[in-house]
Amino acid sequence: MENFQFYSPTEFVFGRDTEDKAGELVKKHGGSKVLIHYGGGSAERSGLLGRVRASLDKAGISYTELGGVKPNPRDTLVYEGIELCRKEGIDFILSVGGGSTIDSSKAIALGVPYDGDFWDFYCGRAVAKAALPVGTVLTIAAAGSEGSGDSVITKEDGGLKRGTGTDLIRPRFSILDPQLTCTLPAYQTACGATDIMAHVFERYFTNTTEVEVTDRLCEAVLLTMIKETPRVIADPNNYDARANIMWAGTVAHTNIVGVGREQDWNSHGIEHELSALYDCAHGAGLAVIMPAWMEFVYKHNALRFAQAATRIWGCQMDFEHPEVTALEGIKRFRSFLHSIGMPINFAELGAREKDIPALVEKFGIGGGRTGGFVHLSAEDIAEIYRIAAKAEL
Ligand code: NZQ
Ligand code: ZN
């Protein structure tokens, strides 16, 4: 195991009706003038925003609102949010929604105290020194942004999707009420489940040895997702299954399952080019990319992939040919994704094979990020897109 520091200062408030505590939590964490930031309307329609406003009113906290965050959140709304916060003297951002809304909130939080362009933090031109505090009321179990120090934003001009990471934007508190996720369409539920599993796999495939505790934590989250996802697809109102998935999504991405080990993250980088170009859901893009990445890299450590196959997917170990077991595990992963309604190739995602050179080129802009498990060249990345394009069950 490698040395590590683990900092996860977020106060998680979990369970039924916990959104009614939004006002008291903002107050506890020092907010007095709040920006409520939200998405395209689901939080208004479900009545959640009304309850959050009532909670702030009860706590005597004034607020301004900015809605309209789109999935794959854009820089344009971030600029608007920064201006609004400065004009209104906002000292706390309350994010009501999913990963996109939370990431947009975090970007605004970084931009308000910064003299330059907030995009500097996303293209590696500057390192953040300050941010407004952010709290969240989560409505979809997926990105894990409610507990992470990351934010991913798409620049409209040029369609670049890029992330930044700093502990400054880890939420001060996150309210997790599983009931709020019951209104999710099955497709969004499945996209979220795929993203949660991908966050674990990005950490599971590592070159670091002797990481038993984090291996086992990763496996626990993955086994939970395999059990609970079909239950919520079949019965969207199953509170207990929703609750397990919601906590799994947070645990998967605070990094508690990934400390002390080298991590990969190439699949995320490769996927982000798909959601930037086609505006598809991040989880759907991962369903197409991650098994393809696995098929491309498994020989790097077939035994680790065989371990995943036996412990997570229940495959029989072929001791003479561990690569056969490894491939069986990858196959079962893809079949599982298909069974919950995810696309498994370019055609099902709405992507085009002819765009592969452009996808690879954009991946390279900004330094050509490469993974920790296997370092990939531009040609390797093109091959992964080609495998993903043609994948079948
Ligand atoms: O905008 P509204 O109307 O709220 O609709 C949303 C949106 O259309 C809808 N939705 C959310 N909660 C709902 C609901 N519909 C009905 N009932 C509810 N309770 O779901 C759609 C997707 O929402 P979005 O916030 O985009 O989903 P998600 O949480 O998957 O976030 C995806 C974004 O997070 C980034 C992704 O790249 C993507 O841009 N990521 C952020 C990470 C981070 N900050 O740590 C890590 C991830 O790897 C990921 O990259
Ligand atoms: Zn993700």
Task: Give per-residue pLDDT as tens, 237-249.
Answer: 999 999 999 999 9
The token duo for 380 is 């390797």
Please report where in the chains the tokens 């996720």 appear, as a residue. Answer: 181
Q: Domain boundary at 180, 215, 233, which?
A: 180
Has residue 1 been placed in a domain? no
Has residue 52 been placed in a domain? yes
**Do 91 and 193 fall into the same domain?**
no
- As a whole number of angstroms, the distance between CA 159 and CA 296 comes to 27
- As a whole number of angstroms, the distance between CA 13 and CA 35 comes to 20
Ligand 1 touching residue 214 (CB < 6 A): no
Question: 192 is in which domain, residue-wise?
Answer: 186-390
**Do 130 and 269 fall into the same domain?**
no
Positive/negative CA dihedral, 346, 191, 366, 200: negative
Ligand 1 touching residue 8 (CB < 6 A): no
Q: Which helix (H) or strand (E) holds 107?
A: helix 99-111
**Do 170 and 193 fall into the same domain?**
no
Average pLDDT value for residue range 322-346: 98
Query: For residue 93, what are the β-bridge partners?
Result: 35, 134
Give distance in angstroms: CA of 320 to centre of ligand 2: 35
- As a whole number of angstroms, the distance between CA 41 and CA 62 comes to 21
How many domains, in total, are found in the chain?
2
User: In this structure, which residue's CA is closest to atom 45 in ligand 1?
Assistant: 145
Please say if the pLDDT value at position 366 is more than 70: no
- As a whole number of angstroms, the distance between CA 301 and CA 211 comes to 15
**pLDDT tens column, 60-118:** 999 999 999 999 999 999 999 999 999 999 999 999 999 999 999 999 999 999 999 99
Q: Tell me the residue type at 240.
A: D
**Do 238 and 176 fall into the same domain?**
no
**Do 162 and 194 fall into the same domain?**
no
Has residue 5 been placed in a domain? no
Q: How confident is the model at residue 370 (pLDDT cuts 50, 70, 90)?
A: confident
CATH value at residue 56: 3.40.50.1970
**pLDDT tens column, 167-179:** 999 999 999 999 9
Q: Domain boundary at 153, 180, 207, which?
A: 180
Cβ atoms < 10 Å from Cβ of 345 = 19
**Do 55 and 134 fall into the same domain?**
yes
Q: Domain boundary at 156, 180, 204, which?
A: 180
pLDDT at residue 364, as a whole number: 81
Give distance in angstroms: CA of 217 to centre of ligand 1: 24
Chain-centroid distance, C-alpha 178:
17
Ligand 1 touching residue 189 (CB < 6 A): no
Has residue 271 been placed in a domain? yes
CA dihedral 349, 351, 357, 361 (to 10 degrees): -70
Assign 3-class secondary structure to 171-211: CCEEEECHHHHHHCCHHHHHHHHHHHHHHHHHHHCCCCCCC
For residue 180, give the ligand 1 atom closest to its CA.
19
Has residue 4 been placed in a domain? no
239/366: higher pLDDT: 239
365/146: higher pLDDT: 146
